[in-house]
Amino acid sequence: MKVFVGRPLVEPSTAEILAGHDVVFGAGGLPASEWPLLAAVDVLLPTPRERVTEAILAAAPHLGLVASHSVGVDHVDLEACRRRGIRVTNTPDVLTEATADLAWALILAVARRIREGEALVRSGSWDGWKPRELLGVSLQGKTLGIYGMGRIGRAVARRGEAFGMRVVAFDRGQSEEDFGEFLSKVDVLSIHVPLTDATRGRFGEREFRRMKEAAILVNTARGPIVDETALVAALSSKRLLGAGLDVYQREPQIHPGLVFLPNVVLLPHLGSATFETRLAMARLACEEIARFARGEPPLHQVA
C-alpha cells in the first residue's frame, strides 16, 4: 500500500507502524509539483497545513483514506471525500490536555502582562521594582467563559475552577439570547469550537461590544472564528483588555494590527506542540492507516 504523508512527523510513528508499506513524504503544503506523486497513492496523511481539496482528490484516483494529523478537519473537503467514497479520520483525545494547558498559558500571559514584562527586562531599561509597574488583573473570583464545551473546553474549565474562577459555557443548541447573556458575563473568553459555516466570523465588532469591558479573549481553536480587524479595533480602544492567540484568520499570515499591540500575546499554532502529544497524534493517524490496510473499520471516522 502506498501512503503519502504531507510532511515529516514525530517518530517513531511512520517508521514503526507503517513498516512494510511504501511511505512517501511531501515537503509540506501539497504544492502542485507534488500532485503527480498522488497518482498511485492509497492513503493520504495530511497535517492542517495540507488542504485536501477537490483538485487534490482528483489527482489521487486510488485514494481510499484521508487520515488527518489533527482534530479539526476544516482543511479537508469532507463532502468531496464522501462523494468519492473516501473515508476521513482524525486524532481526537490525545491533544486535549496539551491544548488546554496552552490556553491557560495564554490566559495567564495576558492577565499578568508577561509579554510586556519580559520585553522590559530584555530591553535593559528596567531599573527595579515599582508599586504601579505593569499591573495585571487577578483571575480569582472572575468568570471564565468557555465557547464550546467539548473535550478541550471541559479541560480548560477544570483548570479555571482550580484558579478560583466561576465557569460559564455556551455550546451547540443554545439560542442567540443565551449567547448574548453568556458574552455579558465573561471576564475571560476561551474559544474551543471547530471551524464551520456557523462559527466562521462568530466573534466580531457586535460581539465585542456585548462583552464585558476589559475582558480577555483567548483563541486556540481556529483563526477564522474571530474577525481580526474587529479584534484589533477592540484592543486598540481598550474595549478588550487583551488577547492571546495561537491561531489566525489567514494563517500563517498575521494581521499587521496585531503585531505591534502590547496587549496581545501571539504564538505560532502551538496548541498540541509537546513531544508526547505530537507523537501520539502521529501514531494515532498511522494506526488508522494500518487498520485500513488490514481491512478493519476506523477508530475515529469523521466522514
Q: List the one residue out of 7, 96, 12, 90 whose CA is nearest residue 49.
A: 7
Residue appearing with cell numbers 502590547: 262
Cis peptide before 262 (omega within 30 of 0): no
What's the CA gap between 69 and 90, in Å, rounded? 6
Q: List the one residue out of 72, 93, 52 whose CA is nearest residue 302.
A: 72
Q: List the one residue out of 187, 185, 269 whose CA is nearest residue 222.
A: 269
**Distance set, CA 84 to CA 35, 52, 76, 197 (Å):** 18, 13, 13, 22
Set of cell numbers at residue 114: 508577561
Set of cell numbers at residue 297: 473499520
Set of cell numbers at residue 224: 477564522
What's the CA gap between 286 and 20, in Å, rounded? 13
User: Is the separation of the CB atoms in 78 and 68 below 8 Å?
Assistant: no
Active site members: 222, 251, 269
